[in-house]
Amino acid sequence: MSSPSSLIRLVAASVVGTAIEFYDFFLYATAAALVFNKDFFPTNNPLTGIFLAFLTYAVGFLARPIGGMVFGHIGDKHGRRFALVLTLNLMGTATFCGLYARTRVEESPLFIATRAPGQKPEIPVMEVFRCYKRGMLMAMLLRIGENTSFYMLTAFLVVYATQILKTEKAQVLNAITIGSVFQVLGFAAAGALSDRIGRRPTTLLGAAGIAIWIFFFYELIGKVTPVLFTTVLIVALLCHALIGGGSAALFAEIFDTQVRYSGASIGYQLGGLLGGAVAPLIAVRLLEIYKSVVPVAIYVAFAAMLTITGVLMAPETRGRNLGEVGSLRSSRNRRIDYAARDSV
């Protein structure tokens, strides 16, 4: 078992690294909505310029599944800490500090247990594609709704509020900043809730909340005062926090230790590519074609339904012994394993 101090270091390192990664994409998405369309893609139609700006933002997501496969393999083959440290080294000296934190993280005890001969697949990524297709599909579906809803509540909101509703930019950005504070607290609360009632109910609650609230969200923000504007956004971001906080552990728990890094990473990044990468592009085009935000709301609700589908496919993993091997592999592959064992 890891010591309390090791657990604290692990949480701190994870928070710092994830915050850096999140901030990079969120900052670029906001700049694409407010600045890049005018500076790099000036056109007579502002929405066309924004669409082209979001297209450059989507390129970043294209590389993420490749990175998920490469570093997922490295993490399963050589250790979680090694992969974390390597990613930061590749980012250069600017990240010398989110590095100091990660070098102090102890390796996962479950990963150490798999270092015995014969316990670890030679190519974890191939093992994931061979034996954990259902797990990857579940992870992708979980991620699509979560990632789509986030960028629709932030990056696209900036476009819709400033370009269509003519809301002050400062008001929109201030609302997102305040909403993000509540969202961070919501993540922690949702994680605690998932430990109490389960990963599936928590995630389902958030996805259902998004699917319903989104139809009121865009309608309300055009009619309310600045204070209520922020409140409406806070409610939406708290629904998103339920999805993120509830599904975070589920991503890891639906894969066995030998391939956990690869499986969770690939599913997560492919879901992000199909969700957040294209969501602003699709929303801007829908808004331009239909001159209405209703099709956008339908699109977000559909993405939330995909997450609900992924949750319904997944087993409840709260309380699962992560040391168990093969418990969530496909029945076909379990039969192959049993046949091999019986022949020995």
Is 147 in contact with 278 (CB distance < 8 Å)?
Answer: no
pLDDT of residue 302: 97
CA separation (Å) from 113 to 10, 102, 325, 337, 341? 18, 21, 11, 20, 21
For the stretch 238-251, pLDDT in tens is: 999 999 999 988 98
Residue span of the structural domain in which 274 resides: 4-328
In a domain, 336, yes or no: no
In a domain, 341, yes or no: no
Residue 116: φ, ψ to 5°: -65, 150
Please name which of 178, 241, 231, 249 lies closest in space to residue 209, comparing C-alpha atoms: 241
Q: Identify the CATH number of the domain in which residue 220 sits.
A: 1.20.1250.20
**Which residues does the chain have with pLDDT short of 70?**
1-3, 7, 10, 13-14, 17, 20-22, 44, 91-99, 102, 107-108, 110-111, 113-122, 323-344
Q: Helix 133-153 crosses helix 279-290 at what angle (to 10 degrees)?
A: 50
pLDDT of residue 311: 95
In a domain, 89, yes or no: yes
In a domain, 344, yes or no: no
pLDDT of residue 331: 43
Report DSSP state, residue 276: T
- Model pTM? 0.72
In a domain, 333, yes or no: no
DSSP assignment of 79-148: -HHHHHHHHHHHT-GGG----HHHHTPPPPHHHHHTTSTTSS-SSHHHHHHHH-HHHHHHHHHHHHHHHH
In a domain, 335, yes or no: no
In a domain, 337, yes or no: no
Q: Give the number of domains in the chain.
A: 1
Q: Which residues contact 58 (CB under 8 A, 6 or more apart)?
A: 277, 278, 280, 281
In a domain, 342, yes or no: no
